[in-house]
Structure 1
């Protein structure tokens, strides 16, 4: 077993899994978001963990990212497919779009963000020039092409602190910084995977326009939930296709 899927908002359960069992994993960093689900999908055994918990109760800034990544690696994961709901900033990122980002900017603060701290023999630095694994990114895109599901290749993910949504002025700043989408969970998840030698790629589901960009500029949770409900059907199809033909 070497594939794990981390689910975000809208993907707290992975439909289509069979032979399901759950395993509680204790880590040096505390408890993960929940038991790790082990099951079969697309003919492969996989791991699944919803980062907000199975009841979607853990806020973005309170997720124990280190425990989640440590638990998945301990369970045998070598590759992680992460699914995240985001707000669209650039014109191409309209609600309902699926984006496979290739870059990110971290605006979070105060989150434990590394395994390399404390009583170390030496300081450790990891290369993070390209935060997402190119082969896993390509697999997402190839699966979309095979299923005729439109996918956006590339984009810069802005990781903000949450749990509140951003102000219109903050979104204007992110746009000036070159960000295409905004979410609250992409970091430190991605860098912890890199520190753990896990290949990691993300699929962003654009749930809404970011604050101040459309209509009265307000972020509507009902709109977000409706959009995610539709888009997650394609996400599940993509995951099955990748399992069957790429992973």
Structure 2
């Protein structure tokens, strides 16, 4: 019911740009350019957590981009999933060399806690991933969303935690679903390759934990990962992660 209200409110209430507040547009040209105006780039947080895969991001998490992500995630501005999904699709293409390898692009969203999904009324990362998959297919790249990961224990709220605290908080927190383990046993990740997707990279701890869960399942099933490991794509990353790769 909450999702229905979000959709209706977007039609009935006055619209303002989520990035800057400019009236009569959900995302103005300037804020759209901040999100989509530059090629996706490889980003690296510092310190880099062990096991973090190669990560590509569309824009630094600041100013208009930060406001747009928060509007989609926390305020239910679901119409923004289109622009955010296009940004994520660009990151996936950058991380796979455009071609996607020998099989389909399998977008594996980092899971939200059930309590967070219930409070928000939607799963923002999964929604953005679905939009990105449609964009990739439109460009001729076979892509699908596979929600293979789940939480196996509760974790504390990450806000306010430092890099070391986040790693400790998330250590061992994720695992593959039963369906995900079956897909690994059937060699799906070997043939297509899993691409971890999230909306934001700060310290990299969440993506590192997601990659660990996938690698552990593949080792158990004795299935090698394509290209030797996971890859990851996010919409935005902390500005410092972009600064490290300025040159």
Q: What TM-score comes out, normalization by structure 2 length?
A: 0.32
Which structure's residues are more often strand, by fraction?
A: 1
Which structure's residues are more often helix, by fraction?
A: 2
